[in-house]
Amino acid sequence: MAEITLQGNPIHTNGELPPVGSTAPDFRLVDAELNDRTLADYRGKRKLLNIVPSLDTPVCATSTKKFNEAVAGRDDVVVLIVSADLPFAQSRFCTAEGLENVIPLSMMRDRNFAKDYGVLITDGPLAGITARAVVVLDENDRVVYTQLVPEIAQEPDYDAAIKALG
């Protein structure tokens, strides 16, 4: 279990992020067309998982926009935005913001992704959704970088995450 804060108040996650060097846990998330997506769908690409509580908050929106800009023109990378938002809301957000370099994925069918990646918030007002985190995977799904953002209202370390993509 990890401790983070929400506006300075301690809250907890169910576990820890996968360790650097480990193979990333597989997942089943839902895309904009309501299809199940797994890690294997992105095989052969470097992956940046931008894990956010909800795209309907300013910090989550900002991080999604910044990662969208950072990977423009990179065919070797995929940015997956993972949240508890419904796919309809995720699509609406990405369309309204003109985001074409990120793929939103929803945990609408289950919370196993959050559990397996150690980011499920277990107490406080946000219990049941994810903490803010970034996980970077190489082409073979090995974890090369992680950051559990200590305060939910803070942005992730963009430079470190982008550098980890290579």
Catalytic residues: 60
Residue type, 67: F
Q: Which 8-state DSSP code applies to residue 58?
A: H
In the chain, what are the helix, strand and coil shares in percent, each to the nearest 5? 25, 30, 45
Task: For residue 121, list its beta bridge partners.
Answer: 13
- Burial pattern 47-80, b for ≥16 Cβ within 10 A else e, equals bbbbbbbbbeeebbbebbbbbbebbeeeeebbbb
SS3 91: helix
Whole-number Å distance between alpha carbons of 49 and 134: 6
